[in-house]
Structure 1
Amino acid sequence: MNLTISGHHLEVTQALREYVLNKLSRVIRHFDQVVDVNVLLTVEKQKEKDRRQRAEVTMHVKGREIFCEHAHEDLYAAIDELMDKLDRQVCRHKDRVQNHHHASAKRMDVSAG
């Protein structure tokens, strides 16, 4: 798995890097066919009173690209919410891949009675 963590208008510190890795390990625990992960942390300076911090992830898994983003006033909160969204999307993708091989309706055992 290739992991890239980058920042826009922000220096990615070791603490941020470890926090993202810790949260990302929870997502990867569900699904191990991850090829690439790109994490972009951004600080948008539109107004000083309305500083929004955004985190986004592009995850390339076998057969699909999964993209998620979330913005919040606190970067750590944005990362938390982002990983929750990503976890839901990865679980949904995993269910779709696994449920593809189900028994057809004509081969199902129907008990008469």
Structure 2
Amino acid sequence: MNLQISGHHLEVTASLKEYVVNKLERVLRHFDQVISVEVILSVDKSKEKAGRQNASVTVNLKGKEIFVEKCDENMYAAIDKLIDMLDRKVMQYKDKVQDHGREAIKHHQPPPEAEPLQ
């Protein structure tokens, strides 16, 4: 798995990088077919959104690409929100891949025997 963490208008410190890696481990333990993960941490410097911390992640899975983006006043809170949403999306995809929309025949109850009419 390739992991790329970058910052836009922000220096990615070792503690910030370690925080992201530790949080991603929680998500990636659910799904072992992860090809690459790209995390972008940025600060919005426009006047109307001054100080907004943005965190976005793109996860390339086998057959699917998942993108999530979250904002907050604090970078660590934005990362927490991002990981929570990513975890939900990965679990949804995993359930969809494994479920196939039907139940196995071995779990079906046999129909009750019909009593003969007299």
Global fold match (TM > 0.5)? yes
Which residue pairs with 2:62 in the alignment? 62
* Higher Rg of the two aligned structures: 2
Which residue pairs with 1:110 in the alignment? 110
Gaps of 5+ in 2: 114-118
Which residue pairs with 1:86 in the alignment? 86
1:32 positional shift:
1.1
Matching of residues 1-113 of structure 1 within 5 Å:
1-47=1-47, 50-100=50-100, 102-103=102-103, 108-112=108-112
Number of aligned residue pairs: give it.
112
Q: Where in structure 1 do 4 or more consecutive aligned residues deviate above 3 Å?
A: 101-105
TM-score (normalised: structure 1): 0.90
Q: State the Cα RMSD in Å.
A: 2.1
1:104 positional shift:
7.2
Gaps of 5+ in 1: none
Percent identity of the aligned residues? 57
TM-score (normalised: structure 2): 0.86
Deviations 1:13-34 (A, max 9, x none): 1000000000000000111110
Q: C-alpha separation between the residues in 2 aligned to 1:60 and 1:49?
A: 30
